[in-house]
Amino acid sequence: MSDFEDQPKKTSRGKFPLPILWIVSTLLICAVFALATVPRADAQGSGQAEDGQYVQSFSGQGSGLNARAQNARKYTSIMQNVFDFIQRHYVEEVDPQVIFEGAMTGMFNALGDPYSNFLPETEMTDLNDTTQGNFGGVGLYISKPVGEQPNGKPAYVEVASPIEDTPGWRAGISPGDLIVEIDGESTEKLTMDEVLARLRGVPGVDVNLLIRRGEKLEFPVTLTRAIIEVPTAKYAMIGDTGYLKLITFTPMTADRARDAIKEFKSKNYKSLILDLRNNYGGLLNSAVDISSLFLDDGVVVSTKSRLPGENHVFNARKTAAVGQEIPVIVLINQGSASASEIVAGALKDRGRAYLVGEKSYGKGSVQKVYPLDNAGFKITVARYYTPSDVNIDKIGIPPDREIKFPEITEADMEKLNTLINSNKIPGFIKENPSASSTAINAFARTLSEEYKLDISLLRRLIRNEQNRTTIAPVYDLEYDVQLQEAVNILKGGNFNSLMETSKTLKALQEEASKDLPLAS
């Protein structure tokens, strides 16, 4: 997986002055947090959390401690005693931070909740980068191999993609380029964190890179760090249909979506496809903002918790940017999670969009992130419910029309493994970086005859490799069967009749429960 290589603007070290926001994925917005007391937290400016009262019962202040509060105080004291004992008696001197981080990790692991966990300093920084939506750096997505390489080559940093209109992009750095040195230091032995620390920094400061392209070409590049905006949306026209792909939900997402809709309107769009595939989520308020572009008022999502202060109903804004006369199709798949599911669920339940693709991931919980000195923690505070009052956690959202890519059988997996190890597809793209559709199809037919694999699967693998080594197009209608289906539905002229047969998530869940066998 690629990593961001840039750093946001920050205040003094360890201080996070931004207000606490709701999140519905592994994204972060920082707020002030103290060990002794947890401040009362506001969720998007509405409602008040009960954090202060909760900590008061832990600390023993106030009257009438119940059994749970007494146990909490007892165990807190025991943990402090064990911490002190290790410091005094362990055979070797131990860094208190190591013990602290281990204890924090263990506490959150004990919850058995994959979305509640301790966040070391590096994770807090990375999450802060993404959630703020912009940061200081040179504008490259990068990856780095771990461990010894099978071909014996050095494990240099590889550029996955430059971010458009950034220093790296303007310097002509391309996907597949290797960053051999940073400011004269080889990247071979550096960890990813060390690489990020050298590439990130204060805007306006130069970073000197040595780039290797292909087997022989090496050249130096000097990049001046700038404020980098995290890409959150891509858009283009498909005929008279506006195509909007949301990559993640940050504070900038709604603005970029409005830019897209403005562009669609200028070109007299007749319909819109909202692509939420492989969008893992983001900020809850961003999901509400996106839903508001399609809905005139009314419920988008509600949150429910055991703490009254975490119970909220989030409504759409008064005027939608996309008129009700515009047909909307939402693309989802197993990688659509969290904030993506809030949007998809809201538009489906409110009868505003037709869903195409595969069942979504199924993450129906809301987290808050609290800074803790330079580290922090993320904890589930509520579950969210769609407008028809359904929670989709571990269930997901089914599409109105299921369209899957060709499935790979176990027998095909063995053949595919042989093909991948042969390195034939990367070799073909290396020799033909700008291969046309005709050339790709011809090569796919050759591979299909040799390996007895589905030709559509092979064409997609070849195109994916081509996109990896070039800047990928906004959409790929030729190889994307789910997008093809969405376009065909819109062209078919029966969108309204399809919407009449679409059911709310509550109706679907009730139907599913009736089909379950009765317990004996």
**Residues with a known catalytic role:** 338, 349, 363
Distances (CA, A) of 290 to 189, 400, 479: 43, 21, 28
Helix (H) or strand (E) holding 125: helix 121-132
* Order of strands across the sheet that contains 401-402: 233-238, 241-246, 271-275, 328-332, 354-357, 401-402
Contact (CB, 8 A) for 454 and 235: no
Q: Is 69 exposed, middle or buried (0-12, 13-18, 19+ CB in 10 A)?
A: middle
Q: How many helices (H) and strands (E) does the chain have?
A: 16, 20
Q: How far apart are CA 150 and CA 143, in angstroms?
A: 17
Instruction: Supply the DSSP string of 206-248, one letter for each residue.
Output: EEEEEEEETTTEEEEEEEE-EEEEPP-EEEEEETTEEEEEE--
Q: How far apart are CA 134 and CA 153, in angstroms?
A: 34
Which runs of consecutive H residues, i.e. helices, occur in 355-454?
410-422, 424-431, 437-451
Residue keyed to tokens 């001197």: 93
Q: Is 148 helix (H, G, I), strand (E, B) or coil?
A: coil
Q: For residue 506, what are the contacts with CB-CB under 8 A and spacing of at least 6?
A: 349, 386, 388, 389, 390
Q: Using CA of residue 172, residue 177, residue 183, residue 184, what is the dihedral sign? A: negative
Q: How far apart are CA 272 and CA 168, in angstroms?
A: 32
State both tokens at 283.
Answer: 């900020």
CB neighbourhood size of 140 (10 A): 29
Helix (H) or strand (E) holding 288: helix 284-292
